[in-house]
Amino acid sequence: MGERTVDVNVETKETLAAVRTFIQAQAEFGLSEFRLARTDAAARLTDFHGSIRDCRMCGLCESRRAVVFGSGNPEADLMFVGEAPGAEEDRTGMPFVGPAGELLTRMIEAIGFQRDEVYIANVIKCRPPGNRDPKPEEVSTCKPFLERQIEYIQPVAICALGLFAARTLLETDEPMSSLRGRLFSYRGIHLIPTYHPAALLRNRQWKRPAWEDLQHLRRVYDNAAG
């Protein structure tokens, strides 16, 4: 049988997995060349960022310098989610800069990734004044923005950095001592909570359990991606 070519547009990673199975089943019948193209997540994220760049849906717009959208690979398999921007993030418009950001970069590299290979975002996109805890109405306003980012990126696994991010994504009030060390599911995506890098800078005794969480994250990622 002669060679046949089929173009396949892949919208989701789940679809990609199904197509790979189909390829394996059909290869013996001469269907030997495929061109797989994922929908452009980068373009969708860029458009979405533009649509909320001047967001004024809550009071945080009055004191912020920038909407800190997120950074990294828009098609990343691994995503890190923190709480809210701090002063440096508000100044630069980038998430996790300064000492906590440097530590997060080292944490990412410790499990075999480069920072630009993953995607990093916060639940809250604007800095709360004085780095206070976000208010419930600010969470309800900003959480859909994060949900849209996750929908576009479609990561294999999410690492929730800190109690606030973990509780927001998992919709729980459990303490970090109960959450860390466990594997959860967020809309079908693997989720592992661990301590926020800023908390690790203040509490060195948490670095060992955080390292255990990162190793757990890597194992979960390898099993899911493989």
| Structure confidence by residue, pLDDT tens digits, 115-140 | 999 999 999 999 999 999 999 999 99
pLDDT at 35 over 50: no
pLDDT at 25: 54
Q: What is the pTM of this model?
A: 0.83
Collect all residues with Cβ–Cβ distance below 8 Å to 22 and sequence separation of at least 6: none
* For residues 17-25, average pLDDT: 53
CA distance 195 to 217: 13
Pairing of strands 71-72, 119-122: antiparallel
Strand stretches in 96-213, DSSP E: 119-122, 157-161, 184-186, 189-194
Using left for φ > 0, alpha for ψ between -120 and 50, and beta otherwise, residue 188 falls in: left
C-alpha separations of 219 from 122, 165, 170, 216, 223 in Å? 24, 21, 21, 5, 6
CA distance 213 to 129: 31
Q: Name the percent of the chain lying above pLDDT 70.
A: 83
150 in Cβ contact with 79 (< 8 Å):
yes
